[in-house]
Structure 1
Amino acid sequence: MSEMTQVPTVNDWWPSEADVEAAQAAVRAQLIDNFVAALREGSVEERFSVLQDAARYDEVNPDSSPVVDELHAIHDNRAVLGRAV
């Protein structure tokens, strides 16, 4: 008797909701890391580049809290955050 090969379903080809959320969290974390690095280096150009990337991310993820707002909060509170930034 031969074994039947299981044919993948459409759901097997798409990432799970948990996979999508993990990927989005990773992108947000990378944007924040890049922004903090730009603050530490004093690179205005890099800071604006990260803000542009964050704005594009927010555009395609309108249901998430805006990462641009998080970056502005980090910038505005960097004196409070001290050496961490």
Structure 2
Amino acid sequence: MPTLTLITSASRPSQPAIDEAEAAVRAQYVSHYLTDTRRGDVIARDWTLYEIEMYDAANPSLPPLMDEIRGLHLPAAA
């Protein structure tokens, strides 16, 4: 389940803190997808893929996370 990251600051949050939080969210989605796939839990995997699609739609300025998920199944170049 996605979690929220609270960024506390009297002024506007710094860009490094925002980038770090964004990276943590993306890493958690990948981790959930890999765990669901490893367990063979098709329903949980499909739900995670749906959440990733919604995440990509909500963040059009970022590289698509779905591309990273698809890349997990491609053979590595030698």
Q: RMSD of the alignment, in Å? A: 1.8
Q: Which residue of 2 aligns with 1:36?
A: 34
- TM-score, normalised by the number of residues in structure 2: 0.75
Which whole-Å CA distance do the structure 1 matches of 2:35 and 2:21 have between them? 21
How far has the Cα of 1:19 moved from its partner?
0.8
Where do 5+ consecutive residues of structure 1 fail to align? Answer: 1-10
Unaligned runs of 5+ in 2: 1-8
Letter in 1 for 2:60: P
Q: Which has the larger radius of gyration?
A: 1
Moved over 4 A (4+): none
Report the structure, 1 or 2, having the larger helix content.
1
Give aligned-pair identity as a percent. 31
Number of residue pairs matched by the alignment: 68
Q: Give the aligned partner of residue 65 of structure 1.
A: 63
- TM-score scaled by structure 1? 0.70
